[in-house]
Structure 1
Amino acid sequence: MSTVTVEHPSIGAVKGVDGDGVYQFFGVQYATLQDRLAEAQVKSRYESPVDATSHGPSSFSPPNGYHNEMLFIQQSMPKPSTVHLDLDCLNLNITVPKGQHGVDLAKQKLPVFVWIHGGGFVVGANSWPHYDHARIVKLAHDNGVPVIGVEISYRLGFPGMLTSEELRQKGYKPNSGLRDQQAALRWVRQHIAGFGGDPDKVTVIGESAGAVATTLHLYSKEPLFHRAIATGGSCLLVPVITPADQEGTYQQVLSILDLENLDVDQRIQKLLTLPMDEIIAKLPPSVAFLPTVDGDVVPVEPTFAGVADQSDQSMPGKQWVDALMIGNSEFDASVLGFMLGHLKPGIGNKFPASIRSSLATTPDIAETLLEAYGFGDSGLDDETAFIRFLEFVNDVSFLGATTCFARGWPASSSSSSSKIFTFFFNEPNPWPGAYQGRATHVLDVVFLFQNHNHNLPPAQRAAAEAFGLDLMRFVAGQQPWPGYTREKRTAKVFGPSKGEKVTARVVEDAEALETGRGKSILQIAEKVGFDRLNETVGRFRMGL
């Protein structure tokens, strides 16, 4: 391993890795924690030299997280050797292209993107190899779009999202994982110039739960970044929990950890000191750790109607962010195929019954919906019916969110002044697995970061480069394709590429069939609203 040492004006000497066309600085601590539930404090002082030649510790998470991620992708990479710590887990990786100034990085002033990984707020790490930024940063530089990439870690699961009235009374704020991300963004604003970045040109990119977080940060009154990209998710993807409902989760945790009979101070002390690996082993996947409506980081519960309403004032980011790019994959709901298998037995009968119950006041719409998704047939086998259910969820949770964000973003009269860009990722997964041939969840990440290119067919390898470069052009402040406007709902469609032919095109209507999405859900939503359709998904998942 070749190394490089740079002199950062506020941090001091930082030793990193001298790679192929890039310098990489791993595991740079961006914040400190007094205890595992405390609010992150942005780090400002460092002991020089800082050794940034290897990945830093990650937040504790279930041990099968990486394996499951590889199952979603349907193509494996070697599992990284990761250290898990509860206090020293807040760090970031920085990837800088080699430029004309050599190691005098501060002379550069390049656009920056900050990557927020997915994983349901429970798993994930900035050390996972398919997230590595070396290839996309080098590709962008080689094509005249020099940018800097930053990968952040944040607290997951119980340390990241647990809250309760008694914790709040003791000074522990909700949404620690989201607050970690905001601390990382403040660190970037303060220190990225010393690595050659422009603190006034920072784009956040999030996928899945990372896209949930990215769009939740748009509710901040504080301008945290310049641009944003959300792919494979948004704040409309998962429920944001009320404090009252979080009490139920808290009581679950206390019961599972056998802490119910202790007094408040003893309970909290145990939550702070019990070995994290013991806690992880005891907490089942059914315990959900999700963001909380706290009146601060998450001031309101996002709704499809609110996001789609241009007059709604609850999301300040609509005004302070320069531009938003949002997109979805043709079968993002594939991820739920691994999570909701318990719903499969008898779903051909149970799902129609649930829809008719949920939409009982509009029976004609219920029947239209069932017919549109192929549930008009009797005797559907479980596998076929389950796929059709997932396609309905995909259209509500992913297509619906993209549509509502595009409709509700500040209107522009021309593409040259547009603040919203939409895309549809339709590249088929080329690898054997449950969903080969579909544009699966996380495949957009594979194409973006170029780390599986050697396993892709030639056309898709070229398509991955084109997709990655388009997103990097957006990071650089460019318009990679015409934006969505009042007059023309323009979008970019990526794929499907086959054989030697790369397929990517701009379509003039993001709500037309040319995107590779059906129109039925949009027509149905015009009558009952996406929020009500989203409720039908939730009711069915609860067995109603």
Structure 2
Amino acid sequence: MSTLTHPQIGQIKGLSKDDTTQYLGIPYGTLTSRFATAVPPSYPSASPLDATQHAPTCLQPPGTAAMEQGLIQQPLSFTDRSMSDLTSLCLSITVPANTPASAKLPVFAFVHGGGFALGSTTWPQYDFARLVRMSVERGTPMIGVGINYRVGVPGFLYGKDMGEAGYKPNRGLADQQLALKWVKKYIGGFGGDGDNVTLGGESAGGAAVTYHLHQEEALFRRAVPMSGSDLLVKSTPLEVAEGAYQKAVELLGLQGSGKEKVAAMEKMEWMEMLGKLGMAVQTGPVVDGEIVKFVTTYESLTKQPLPGATWSDLLIGDCTFDGSILGLRIGGKKDGIAGKFVAAVEKTLPAETAKQLLSIYNISASTDDDTAFILILRFMNDIGFYAPLAAYAANFVAAGRNAYVYHFNVPNPWDGMWKGEANHILDVAYLFQNYNEKIPSDAGREVAKKMGATFIDFVVGKAPLEKRTSGGGKAVVFGEDSVQITDDVPTQTGRREAFEKLGREIGFDALDKTFGTFLMS
């Protein structure tokens, strides 16, 4: 137990762990209702703030922590957290032990993934204690901050009725922005520097980082999108969001005026709502003209630098087979999937180009379902996770900012569907150091440590490798038993050269359109 006297908040009770002090469940926003815009809490409180326990998770399906660890294919011990409508907008702050308030340490803030439908940085795979301790051991101490935000219906459902009731779209992204403003204002009392913040995130969390790069306001100094961007997790027009809202109204059996429907949604018990909606209503970022100004394309990134490329540096990366996660998305298409994919490709691309693409992945209409399923995921991997790296890095280089690229090529060492593959979210297990005892080889554990060190260097302002230029550059490659810095070309980083060549010839947006056509088929 440790007690901090924060100059603005007052007394805060924290926990000592692994040569760090953790302040858990620190509220950064308060809510008056499920769909309300979060507002900052009031300080100081009359009594000490108890920050010794994690806050409840945001509303989502039950069992999601175990599901995410199932994707990693190795469990960590944890206790299921309760869920809350109104008290889940909290931070987990990890500080090196005995850090004075005057230290002004760099800050690494992190937003979890989960398709904007689930997730929590209170889960043990995101525990910052070991990474923060490593930063101290390296002589470059930093503070870690885990951000929780509204997901799914509470965070992203939006329709005209909701707007007329006074509610805004993109509430989950707005939550994140409020958290970053809280960090800027209050982290100094924990010994951090509110003007020296790095924002990282994985999967949908990585996409969130890229969404925030569209803001004129400098919410952070450095960005780390891991295996996710808004080129994959795309925003939708308001009319598409309206369709999702109307579908939710129908499934929930709501009647009456628009105002009455929204009020009923706010009051409905979460498990009842979840039972009626299931996975039938897809929610996510919406083009609202404020937080999300337009749908990002590969072409748009070549036209002008993002606002964030004028105030942030960039470290961006992928896993060799991030596309593994999209198996959850296309599993229902598996019966006859090769024919469906071939039809989508031939519908979208000119005949000769379609032939080239199918040849790259060795797919024909007669390819058996199991084989085609994996091959299609590899295409989806390349257009959804790999291609965005160069596009984003080039955008930042054009703006004169520092940009760096990494590739995570470590094969999953644990039994399961993706054993032997560098599958989606495995990078989280290695970055945060929380699986080190479970990694079966000394060399593998050393790779995890070097990955942590690379990210720490970036957070504290050290160049992790040679920065990119307009002609390309180097990449750091995390392999099974070694870490190397190589030219960032497919033949050296373990990526598909033929895919990259085709994308440069016809434009990656054309390949992305093929991806979308298949998903909609």
* CA deviation after TM superposition for structure 1 residue 487, in Å: 4.1
Find out whether 1:520 has 2:498 as its counterpart: yes
SS of alignment partner, residue 189 of structure 1: helix
Tell me the amino acid that sits aligned with residue 69 of structure 2.
M
* Correspondence 1:119-518 to 2 at 5 A: 119-259=114-254, 261-307=255-301, 309=302, 311-313=303-305, 315-321=306-312, 323-359=313-349, 362-375=350-363, 379-411=366-398, 419-456=402-439, 457-497=441-481, 503-508=482-487, 510-518=488-496
Distance in 2, matches of 1:160 and 1:248, equals 17
> TM-score scaled to structure 1, two decimals?
0.93
TM-score normalised according to structure 2 size: 0.97
Cα drift, residue 418 of structure 1: 5.3
Q: Which amino acid aligns with 1:507?
A: T
The structural deviation recorded for 1:199 is: 0.8
Q: Is the CA contact (8 Å cut-off) linking 1:16 and 1:53 kept in structure 2? A: yes
SS of equivalent to 1:146? coil
Assess, with a 3 A threshold, how the Cα gap between structure 1 residues 46 and 81 changes in structure 2: closer, same or farther.
Answer: farther
- Is 1:536 the equivalent of 2:520? no
Which residue identity is paired with 1:74?
A: Q
Residues 93-146 of structure 1, C-alpha deviations (whole Å, 9 max, x = no match) = 100012xxx36x312110001010000111111211100000111011111121
Distance between the aligned counterparts of 1:268 and 1:341, measured in 2? 33
Structure 1 residue corresponding to 2:13, chosen from 15, 21, 24: 15
What secondary structure does 2:83 align onto? coil
Q: Output the amino acid matched with 2:309.
A: K
RMSD: 1.4
CA deviation after TM superposition for structure 1 residue 194, in Å: 0.4
CA distance in 2, matches of 1:320, 1:489: 21
How far has the Cα of 1:488 moved from its partner?
A: 4.6
Unaligned runs of 5+ in 1: 498-502
Secondary structure of the 1:220 match is coil
Question: How far did residue 534 of structure 1 move?
Answer: 1.2
Q: Which residue in 2 is equivalent to 1:67?
A: 66
CA distance in 1, matches of 2:321, 2:13: 42
| Partner AA of 1:329 in structure 2 | C
Secondary structure at the counterpart of residue 93 of structure 1:
strand
Q: Distance in 1 between matches of 2:277 and 2:200?
A: 30
Distance 2:387 2:73 in 1: 26
Q: C-alpha separation between the residues in 1 aligned to 2:455 and 2:425?
A: 16
Q: Does the CA-based 8 Å contact 2:59-2:151 persist in structure 1?
A: yes
Percent pairwise identity: 39
Q: Distance between the aligned counterparts of 1:66 and 1:506, measured in 2?
A: 34
In 2, the alpha carbon distance for the partners of 1:296 and 1:35 equals: 22
Q: State the Cα distance separating 1:20 from its structure 2 match.
A: 1.8
In structure 2, distance between residues paired with 1:6 and 1:534:
50
CA apart distance, 1:186: 0.3
Gaps of 5+ in 2: none
- What is the rounded CA distance, in whole Å, between the counterparts of 1:281 and 1:23 in structure 2? 40
1:27 maps to what in 2? 25
* Cα shift at 1:447: 0.5
Q: After the TM superposition, which residues 86-105 of structure 1 pair with which residues of structure 2 at under 5 Å, given as runs?
A: 86-98=85-97, 102=98, 105=100
Aligned mates of 1:272, 1:344 — CA distance in 2? 37
Q: Distance in 2 between matches of 1:139 and 1:390?
A: 35
Q: Which amino acid aligns with 2:151?
A: L
Give yes or no for contact 1:304–1:404 (8 Å, CA) kept in 2: yes
- CA distance in structure 2 between the partners assigned to 1:93 and 1:495 by the alignment: 30
Q: Give 1:24's aligned amino acid.
A: Q
Q: In terms of mean alpha carbon deviation, does 66-75 or 216-225 score higher?
A: 66-75
- For 1:163 and 1:196, locate their aligned partners in 2 and report how far apart those are by CA, in whole Å: 39
